[in-house]
Structure 1
Amino acid sequence: MSFRVSLSGMNAAQSDLNVTSNNIANSNTTGFKQSRAEFADVYPTSAYGLSKNTIGAGVRLQRVAQQFSQGTIENTGKALDLAINGKGFFTLSANGTTVYSRAGNFGTDKDGFVVNPSGQRLQVYLPDASGSGFDMGRMSDLQLDSGDSPPLATSNVAVGTNLPGNASVPVTATFNPADPTSYNYTTSMTVYDSLGASHSQSLYFVKTANPNEWQAYTTIDGTAVGGAQTLQYSTTGTLTSPVAPGNITLPAYTPTTGAAPMNITLNVGNSTQYGSNFSVAALTQDGHTTGRLTGIEVGSDGVVQARYTNGVSTPLGQVVVTNFSNPQGMQPLGDNAWAETSESGQPMRGAAGTAEFGNVQGGALESSNVDLTEQLVNMITAQRNFQANAQMITTQDQITQTVINIR
């Protein structure tokens, strides 16, 4: 029996060396989680149980337990390299089968789907119908659209100006945008029609003979849009008319580009009449032209944004992060992937940075959590165990040979 006990010890040491060898081999594997060989003692049993002087029957490999400690996060600068800092796994679709991984070295395939090196597609929550959130009840493959961002016609223009309180009435009484003597000040900005074509919108300010009163004129591409709009200020320089929020609805302007008529609301609620200098503090509009895709950005909450040359950022989805009550119960599939089992428990899915889920870091990868120094020490220990058990077999063989040689 002693031969079998020592043999079980040698087998256990060999298993320990195999696990250590696998850890060392994957010390540079992205998202790899090291394993630990766990052993249990063996005792022979009978119908009456164990007696108090029973000698053990050796050792056996009880399980190989994966260690899901955090690996070092290293910046790569590549937009589609993702790392989870904390708990959770990336959720992937392998031809319709859901698998999980900590390796975030993603790229795109020929159809624009975001995939890992094994071709498994990253799962995200798609934007909901309102555009203000994400549909957390349905997962979908993340696909990058290489098309242009559509244009948006300008519908709101906000102007924050200061008109001097000591301004004089213009020399020329009839307003004419071509005659600088018929107005006091002017400013302009670029607006866009429904086809994304740009147009120049100019604003002219004319002081009237009435105290604290001005008239504003608007032209687009040199064409007058509506008539005079009266601006009235209080004795302290604040706008009193039009009343808050200070909106002026301009008549529709039909561009020559074939685009739809432009319906613009002019907001002058932040204009004032102070001091003796004209100034423009704010001049904004909400339209934009077409844009080409320039890059992808992933926030700590896992939201994937597509950025375009026109300054627009469009959310494409939110990365689905999955966690388990017992990650060690998951089944390793190879290629840095795991599958759920009855021992792992049901998958718990959600958004990064909430509840039991870590943050997503874009432009970075999680390294293997293997500590080479620790593994080399384990290797030496397992080697010593193997040698000791082998020596035990040699000793037992010598004793047996002695008994055989007795005459």
Structure 2
Amino acid sequence: MSFYISLSGLKASQVDLATISNNVSNVSSTAFKKSKTIFGDIFAAAPMQTTNQVAGQGVRVQGVTQQFTQGTLETTDKTLDLAIAGEGYFTVKGEDGTISYTRNGAFAVDDNRFAVDTTGARIQIFPVDPQTGVTTIDPTTATPANLVDLNIPTNNPNTPTAQLTSVGVDKKGLVSAVYADGSTLYLGQVAMASFNSQEGLRQEGDAHWSATVASGNPLLGTANQGMYGSVNSGMLERSNVDITDELVALIAAQRNFQANSKAIEAANTLTTTIVNLRT
């Protein structure tokens, strides 16, 4: 039995080592969220058996959960670099129409003048009145189907000869464009999403997540209020991995692996001794 107990410890240590290694390898990934391995003991006894005379039967991995703590905000001075200070997510739509959610706000303009992230997905916004910036739909009752892509036209739609001079994004996620004739047009308000259970989100890679039954449906809203956090233009959120903590955890996981290996070695020595006595 001791062989299998130690074997379960080896397998659990391998998962822990893989999790920590993934954290360390993504220390420079924008908006990456570190993970933590959760363990649980295995115990079984017969209904009439006294449990204080029974040893446990090893360990099992209950799951690998992400830690959605705030990462450090880094200044980039690029207007379309957006960082969230809070618990919200940007809503983006992939080329295949799939909606996902991200904290990676490294947006840029593609050849069609749409604002896209590093995967080519377009950021979603609430439509607004171009003159006043007031949303034309109620964000609290909106669904992802009500959102539109953010398009930044090179020329003023009302005055085609007036070219774009600058783009701005305020704390509430309201995107504005200033043109050469001095006019300002509001292009939309960044759609923020929140979830009842962040831990239930499904990882998609590149700091993207998708909604699941466990996370619940996205709760859409605007930035700088409630649970959505504020949008900071000209900044990016760094990984929340603390390299010092991870290296200490890596050493502990390595020692745990070695200890279980020694336990198997000791059990093997004991078994060999008993076999030699019989022969």
TM superposition score normalised by structure 1? 0.64
Amino acid at match of 1:384: R
Alpha-carbon separation, structure 2, partners of 1:311 and 1:49 = 85
The aligned residue for residue 179 of structure 2 is 308
Distance 1:114 1:5, change over 3 A: same
Larger Rg: 1
For 2:191, which of 320, 327, 331 is the aligned residue?
A: 320
Establish whether residue 375 from structure 1 lines up as the match of residue 243 from structure 2. no
Distance 1:349 1:131, change over 3 A: same
Please give the secondary structure, in 1, of the residue aligned with 2:203.
strand
The aligned residue for residue 226 of structure 2 is 355
Please give the secondary structure, in 1, of the residue aligned with 2:5.
helix
Identity %: 41
CA shift at 1:51, angstroms?
Answer: 3.9
TM superposition score normalised by structure 2? 0.92
The aligned residue for residue 126 of structure 1 is 127
| Counterparts of residues 325-336 of structure 1 (less than 5 Å) | 325-336=196-207
Relative to its length, the structure with more strand (as a share) is 1
Write out per-residue CA displacement over residues 204-250 of structure 1, whole angstroms, 9 at most, x where no aligned residue.
xxxxxxxxxxxxxxxxxxxxxxxxxxxxxxxxxxxxxxxxxxxxxxx
Establish whether residue 392 from structure 1 lines up as the match of residue 231 from structure 2. no
Relative to its length, the structure with more helix (as a share) is 2
| Unaligned segments of structure 1, at least 5 residues | 152-288
CA shift at 1:149, angstroms?
Answer: 5.4
CA shift at 1:148, angstroms?
Answer: 3.1
Establish whether residue 291 from structure 1 lines up as the match of residue 162 from structure 2. yes
Distance 1:304 1:132, change over 3 A: closer
Please give the secondary structure, in 1, of the residue aligned with 2:124.
strand
Establish whether residue 148 from structure 1 lines up as the match of residue 149 from structure 2. no
User: How large is the Cα RMSD of the aligned pairs?
Assistant: 1.7
CA shift at 1:310, angstroms?
Answer: 2.1
Alpha-carbon separation, structure 2, partners of 1:98 and 1:50 = 53
Please give the secondary structure, in 1, of the residue aligned with 2:261.
helix
Q: Is the 1:149–1:308 contact (alpha carbons within 8 Å) kept by the matching residues of 2? A: no
Establish whether residue 139 from structure 1 lines up as the match of residue 159 from structure 2. no
Write out per-residue CA displacement over residues 336-395 of structure 1, whole angstroms, 9 at most, x where no aligned residue.
210111111221110001121100001110000000000000000000100100000010
Please give the secondary structure, in 2, of the residue aligned with 1:295.
strand
Q: Is the 1:44–1:50 contact (alpha carbons within 8 Å) kept by the matching residues of 2? A: no
| Unaligned segments of structure 2, at least 5 residues | none
Please give the secondary structure, in 2, of the residue aligned with 1:11.
helix
Amino acid at match of 2:154: S
Please give the secondary structure, in 2, of the residue aligned with 1:333.
strand
CA shift at 1:311, angstroms?
Answer: 2.1
The list of structure 1 runs, each at least 4 consecutive aligned residues, that deviate by more than 6 angstroms after superposition, is: none
| Counterparts of residues 121-270 of structure 1 (less than 5 Å) | 121-128=122-129, 131-134=132-135, 135=137, 136=139, 137=142, 138-148=146-156, 150-151=158-159
Amino acid at match of 1:85: A
